[in-house]
Amino acid sequence: MSTRLPTYFISHGGGPWPYLDGPFRRTFDQLEQSLLDIRKELNDAPRAVLVISGHWEENGFAISSGEQPGMVYDYSGFPEHTYHIRYKAPGSPALAKRVQELLGAGGIGARLDPDRGFDHGTFSIMKPLYPGEDIPLVQLSIDRSYDPALHLQLGRLLAPLRDEGVLIIGSGLSYHNLREARGVEGVEPSRQFDAWLQQTLVAGPANERTEHLLHWEQAPLARAAHPKEDHLIPLVAVVGAAEEESGALVYHQKDLFGRITASSFRFGNVPSVQ
């Protein structure tokens, strides 16, 4: 694929939701439809997918490099069968090495991890997005310093992949305060922080976006929305990979878990409008 691909930040939902039935599964119907719409707007399948997952933290950066990655069941309290599911997409040692080289050329070290499996920040979105499980898939960790400047630079260094047929996805949640997500306490923080994200990422000029993200803690109720920013930092990285390009809202829900506002975003144009 020669056309430059956009990048995405996807609010990935709760646990292994695509593998469930019943009311909890239905909570994510809007999210699932947004993923189907993303697949449609991308037209031809990407050559490979790189997911920067908020569920993989390291001191520094690591890249999954195995040929047939396993699974990481990083959740609890779900039915027994969800601890035996498999998302069988192949890994890509070649892409992992390419990522390592791009980062290294910019002064960011990253180690290859041949044993890392797919965590639910990755397989929960990939199952609806590419159910054929046949597109090579690589994960990239975040650095547990959560330094936004570092992750913006990470994204900038990854940008050439967009011209090489690699779809870059940041997987997290636009609101991630699990203690308050199911109560009234989460309503206003999720709503106000989401409104700030939409103003910053979509309505505001792209050339001001970086500065706002560097100081995201100044946003309304920022720390109430993200007591720990592991699920926000992947957004910073994918913005870095499309830093001067327009943002668009691709998923928005006001009643996630009954009360919470959540959103996903695209950066850059889809291939059909380039």
Tens-digit pLDDT string for the chain (274 aa):
448 999 999 999 999 999 999 999 999 999 999 999 999 999 888 999 999 999 999 999 999 999 999 999 999 999 999 999 999 999 999 999 999 999 999 999 999 999 999 999 999 999 999 999 999 999 999 999 999 999 999 999 999 999 999 999 999 999 999 776 666 788 999 999 999 999 999 999 988 999 999 999 999 999 999 999 999 999 999 999 999 999 999 999 999 888 899 999 999 999 864 4
Q: What is the per-residue pLDDT for 103? A: 98
Instruction: Read off the DSSP letter of residue 118.
Output: B
Contacts of 85 (CB under 8 A, 6+ apart): 16, 19, 71, 123
Q: What is the per-residue pLDDT for 33? A: 98
Contacts of 11 (CB under 8 A, 6+ apart): 31, 172, 173, 174, 175, 251, 262, 263, 264
Question: Do residues 78 and 125 touch, judged by C-beta distance below 8 A?
Answer: no
CATH code at 7-273: 3.40.830.10
pTM: 0.96
How far is 43 from 47, CA to CA, in rounded Å? 12
Q: Name the residue ranges covered by the structural domains of the chain.
A: 7-273
Q: What is the per-residue pLDDT for 238? A: 98
Neighbours of 135 (CB within 10 A): 17
| Residue in this structure with the two tokens 């990522």, named with its chain if needed | 99
